[in-house]
Chain A
């Protein structure tokens, strides 16, 4: 950014003109300029209104109907029946359980490891830090489909480099990472986490460099040991970033895993990798049960909103650490 603040002296607004005609003209100009901001906002408001809020309302509506997505077939009003069905569908419980596994499974990659790495690698030389940063960040910019393709090759049961390496170190039988129902969900969780780990490490390192080093000096003078410093200074000061990453991770982990599920396992084997997002997709575009999909979407959206609200409340309460 290259603006130069020194060249522009602030001139006081000259307040003249109290004649009635001038006042009228001024009033018109004010009224005209009253519309202006709305005109500038129009494209954004119209587009988001049409492509986000309209479909959101329609999803709520569709959740009370039975429909198969065909424009020619009628929509039948079924009341709360879709929601009642959701409770009894066996896939639903399974999908919710898997959603939980994804959400918890990603936390080591999005929070625990990045925090540890950020804390223990503080104060590293600037040049080497830039090199590390650039490399660590690469998974973040790669496309989910490309990531799936590469990991599928690396984790291939017979020819993949990972199984070859594991067998070299004494593994008897190759692991079928994506087709063995005991492994598949963890393989997908790992890939989802792998994409995130560099990003969150950088978020935490950035927050670490923002911490005033005088706190550490003061703590050392008070003879605090390393663990006490981390526990009572570093972690509290990092809490806004920790909260931010927890929110992202908890809200979006299972959504991010969608592409990997769709490309690598299609929810299988035996439904072992389906999560709630993938179920929405299957109901909507494979079994064409629009009502079920919409009802599940409504439940998901409300749950989602409540979690987000909780996090916002929490971050307000903790925000005094910011200073």
Chain B
């Protein structure tokens, strides 16, 4: 008797999930679909381009300094990720390796920064950046973001789970604290560190607030800001706009395609921001 019932309920489950997947994926599909359509076909609802064309990509590429902005975005995202990983590895090591006065207060203060919305602190930070003459520079984009409280907390959890006996063994072999960190702990935690790094890279690549404030000229800006400017410049170039959007999303999509399981796991474990 239960055979049919089980089938009906599994069918229902799958239907529900397929609907959700459709909702999640459709915009992505529609973006790519539109980006390959010819000018005449863009406005039709065809589910697949009849005549594939790269014209939209060429047009988008030529109307804004795309290569320059992708380069900027790459440089900013890579240096931010590297700096954030480095600073948080050092901090997580300090918290897990030693007992010292004030450690829980410092950890608390780091965690609390999570509660400070960007918009609350943007004006003083903007003033500092413009006084330093860092507006429209990559330095101005990178330096305020060399630390991620999220990365400190995530790495702290990973470091805490690291077996103390291994550290002690290295110490007995005469390794200094510095080399215990870089020769014993970091190589063994490569997997967690790199998945946190991927998350940091995606966050940094997608960031829009700070470039919006700090940069004015497209040549000094990141891809996200450039895309927004492109959007507001010409309202009806849907083909090129979707091509530009595809390009702006491509690095993250490629990373996701290769490493989706790790990315999902670390997002679910670590939360947002």
A147 to B149, CA, bound (A): 26
CB distance from A243 to the nearest CB of B (A): 13
Among A45, A139, A146, A197, the most chain B Cβ lie within 10 Å of the Cβ of A146
Interface of B is mostly: helix
Residues from chain B with Cβ under 8 Å of A56 in the complex: 116, 120-121
Which among B110, B125, B172 is the interface contact of A48 at CB below 8 angstroms? B110
Are A197 and B144 in contact, CB atoms less than 8 angstroms apart? no
CB of A266, distance to nearest CB on chain B (Å)? 9
A143 touching B272 in the complex, CB below 8 Å, given contacts A3-B188, A56-B120, A153-B241: no
Establish whether residues A161 and B131, one from each chain, have CB atoms under 8 Å apart when the complex forms: no
Binds B, one of A33-41, A91-99, A216-224, A229-237: A33-41
* A128 to B244 alpha-carbon distance, docked (Å): 33
Report if B43 contacts A (CB, 8 A).
yes
In the complex, A252 has a CB within 8 A of chain B: yes
Q: Note all chain A residues with C-beta closer than 8 A to B141.
A: none
Residue-wise interface mask of A (138-174) relative to B, using a CB-CB cutoff of 8 A (1 in contact, 0 not):
1111111111111111101001010011000000000
**Is A175 interfacial (CB 8 A cutoff)?**
no
Which of these, A11, A69, A138, contacts B127 with CB under 8 Å? Answer: A69
A44 and B147 contacting across the interface, CB-CB below 8 Å: yes
Q: Cβ of A212 < 8 Å from any Cβ of B? A: no
A10 surroundings in chain B (CB, below 8 A): 165, 168
Q: Is the CB of A124 within 8 A of B97?
A: no
A252-B272 in contact given A143-B224, A153-B34 (Cβ < 8 Å)? yes
B67 within 8 A of A: no
B17 and A124 form a contact (CB under 8 A): yes
User: Which residue of B is nearest A49, CB measured?
Assistant: B109
CB distance from A200 to the nearest CB of B (A): 10
Residues in B whose Cβ lies below 8 Å from that of A161? 30, 45
Size range of the interface on A? 35 or more
CA distance A293 to B177 in the complex (A): 47
Check A270 for interface membership: any CB of B closer than 8 A: no
- Given the interface pairs A5-B163, A117-B20, the reply to whether A48 lies near B30 with Cβ below 8 Å is no
Q: Report the separation of the CA atoms of residues A33 and B126 in the bound assembly, to the nearest whole angstrom.
A: 38
Asked if A78 CB lies within 8 Å of chain B CBs, one says no
Q: How far is the CA of A148 from the CA of B95 in the complex (A)?
A: 40
Tell me if A201 is interfacial: C-beta within 8 Å of chain B. Answer: yes
Which chain A residue shows the least CB distance to B230? Answer: A149
Q: Once the chains bind, are A58 and B124 in contact (CB under 8 Å)?
A: yes
Q: Is the CB of B13 within 8 A of A308?
A: no
Q: How far is the CB of A134 from chain B (nearest CB, A)?
A: 5
Given A36-B177, A51-B144, A121-B16, A2 contacting B31 (CB threshold 8 A): no
**A275-323 contacts to B (CB < 8 Å):** 277, 280-281, 284-285, 290, 293-294, 297-298, 300-301, 304-305, 308
* Sample (12) of A-B pairs whose CB atoms are under 8 Å apart: A5-B163, A37-B98, A44-B87, A51-B125, A140-B267, A141-B252, A143-B205, A144-B206, A151-B27, A197-B20, A280-B119, A280-B122
Given contacts A136-B24, A150-B28, 10 further A-B contacts (CB under 8 A): A8-B169, A9-B165, A33-B177, A55-B121, A120-B12, A134-B260, A149-B242, A161-B45, A198-B24, A202-B268
